[in-house]
Amino acid sequence: MDLPSAARSGLLPALVEAHTRCGAIDASEAGRIAAGLRMPAALAWEAASSFPDFERETARGAEPVCVGPACLAAGAIAGPGQVAVECQHRCFEAPAAGEDAPFPESAIRLAGPLLAPEDTDWRGLDAARASGRDGVLAGLERSGLRGRGGAYFPVASKWSAALARERPLALVVNAEEGEPGVYKDRALLCRRPRRFVEGLAIAIEALAPAVTVIFLNGRAQGAMESMRSALESHGDILPAAPRVVRGGGGYVLGEETTMLNAIEGRKPVPRVRPPFPVESGLWGMPTVVNNVETIASLAVIFREGAAAFRARGTAAAPGTRLLSVSGAVARPGVYEVEMGVTIARVLEMAGGPAARPIVAALAGGPSGGFLPESTFGTPLLPGQLHATGAALGAGGLLFLDSPAAVRKTALYLAEFNAAESCGKCTPCREGAPRAHEMLASGNKAGLEDLLEVMAVASLCGLGQMAPGPIRSALHFWPELFA
Ligand code: SF4
């Protein structure tokens, strides 16, 4: 059975509203929502109970204390009157406590064209409008822009593939940013929202989508308020107001097909591909999914010109990108760097070690891996940085200053991936918890085989990449897990 899409797509906004009002959503509340939407209660509860944020009673009166990887490495622990919460994406001030707050300008440590002070005109949009759809696609092609979400797929190719279907299409902005240790899209939305709106206008100009959705992390209150304000102030440059949808938690929600299911009011789990979203995505429409940094980069490209964009970075990976730098460095925060910069140079820009010498960097968070200081000459480029798993990913870089911190972080990430597994496929659902147990106990017989099965047989990136932190930690620091 399928339901009219209009009714079903009202489910997630209704769940978010109920969670805000009630603190948690139980089956009876889901049933009331379902009745209002004229959908079966079982379908509403199936979706609601799959979002981790909706199950939990909001900790009223208790102060949230972040125990994400950067805060954990900084010694975070919840005391009396406090409650431990997952990464609050404020790693630049680890250990972080309190509610979500607007991203501070002071945590932007290095600005390039993307994070430069905002302009007062719309020169990028004007240039895009003057060149038309074909001109925008040609400009994108010349710029060499690759998506900044982690897969680094060429943006011009993705747009062309969706347009080639010659059907009404959807544009979805991925502002979920649920990866622990990453906060650069929050920085953009809070501090440079006008640049994001200009980029969005350029994308809409070229793609002429039938529907535009911005999917925002449900806990990113500061980014939500800043973006809403920018859309109110500058929305006149958009042909129609985009629909803004907030999530309900879960790392896998950042996976694009999971996000499409969530927007449609379905259980937030990945879809089997093919078809890919550019073929059949939101409500079956060809769908372009780009993240906030990718969208904002459009404003830079059409303002400065494709050649200027291409002059930065490397031939294969042009432009700048935002890094979320955290951990044991003197100046954690967001750094706009040219693609291809080395980890050693980033460490130097971040002021070097805060106290003790740095022994390792975690690149790519739960879907990446650890690198020892001896490899810090590695350039940060799309794809794997080391065969054991480290990857540039969404641009998270956590510096650690002791082997004990490496062990603690590796165990945290193994447990995190197990907890975040949506359970749809067996290799990840059964493999991730078992891999965590084996790593923690030191009984590693068969662990490498298990990791290999997870990497090749899991349905989505969460299970496929979860072996990275384990493999890399074991490869470089086997003595920590004996
Ligand atoms: S790999 Fe994990 S998160 Fe992805 S579909 Fe399978 S069980 Fe779900």
Query: What are the pLDDT digits (tens) for 102-135?
Result: 999 999 999 999 999 999 999 999 999 999 999 9
Place of tokens 């005391």: 79
Q: Does residue 56 sit within a domain?
A: no
Domain identity same for 380 and 335: yes
Domain identity same for 245 and 391: no
For residue 1, what pLDDT is reported?
40
Domain identity same for 125 and 79: no
pTM, 2 dp: 0.95
Q: Does residue 378 sit within a domain?
A: yes
Domain identity same for 47 and 144: no
| pLDDT band at residue 61 using 50, 70 and 90 as cut-offs | low
pLDDT > 50? residue 351 = yes
Range in 25-29, 80-84, 330-334 with the lowest mean pLDDT = 80-84
Domain identity same for 357 and 301: no
Domain identity same for 306 and 203: yes
Domain identity same for 154 and 218: yes
Domain identity same for 144 and 275: yes
pLDDT > 70? residue 57 = no
Distance 459 CA to ligand 1 centre (A): 6
Domain identity same for 373 and 260: no
Domain identity same for 123 and 95: no
Q: Does residue 324 sit within a domain?
A: yes
Q: Does residue 173 sit within a domain?
A: yes
How buried is residue 61: exposed, middle or buried, by Cβ count under 10 Å (0-12/13-18/19+)? exposed
Distance 420 CA to ligand 1 centre (A): 9
pLDDT > 90? residue 288 = yes
Q: What is the mean pLDDT of the chain?
A: 95
What's the CATH number where 345 sits?
Answer: 3.10.20.600
How far apart are the C-alpha atoms of 242 and 192, rounded to whole Å?
A: 18
Domain identity same for 131 and 266: yes
Among 261, 367, 460, 464, which residue has the most ligand 1 atoms within 8 Å of its CB, making it the best to mutate?
460
Residue 314: both structure tokens together: 């490397």
Q: What does the DSSP assignment read for 364-410?
A: SGGGSEEEEGGGTT-B--SSBSSTTS-B-TTSEEEEE-SHHHHHHHH
- Are the CB atoms for 341 and 332 separated by under 8 Å? no
- Are the CB atoms for 215 and 176 separated by under 8 Å? yes
Q: Does residue 163 sit within a domain?
A: yes
CA-based nearest residue to 301, from 156, 453, 86: 156
Q: Does residue 262 sit within a domain?
A: yes
- Rounded to 5 degrees, what angle do the CA atoms 264, 266, 268 make? 110
Owning domain of residue 450: 320-476
| pLDDT band at residue 4 using 50, 70 and 90 as cut-offs | low
Q: Does residue 82 sit within a domain?
A: yes
Distance 98 CA to ligand 1 centre (A): 31
Residue that is last in its domain, among 310, 331, 357: 310
> Cβ(396) to ligand 1 under 6 A?
no
> Cβ(280) to ligand 1 under 6 A?
no
Count of structural domains within the chain = 4
Domain identity same for 327 and 388: yes
Distance 269 CA to ligand 1 centre (A): 7
Q: Does residue 104 sit within a domain?
A: no
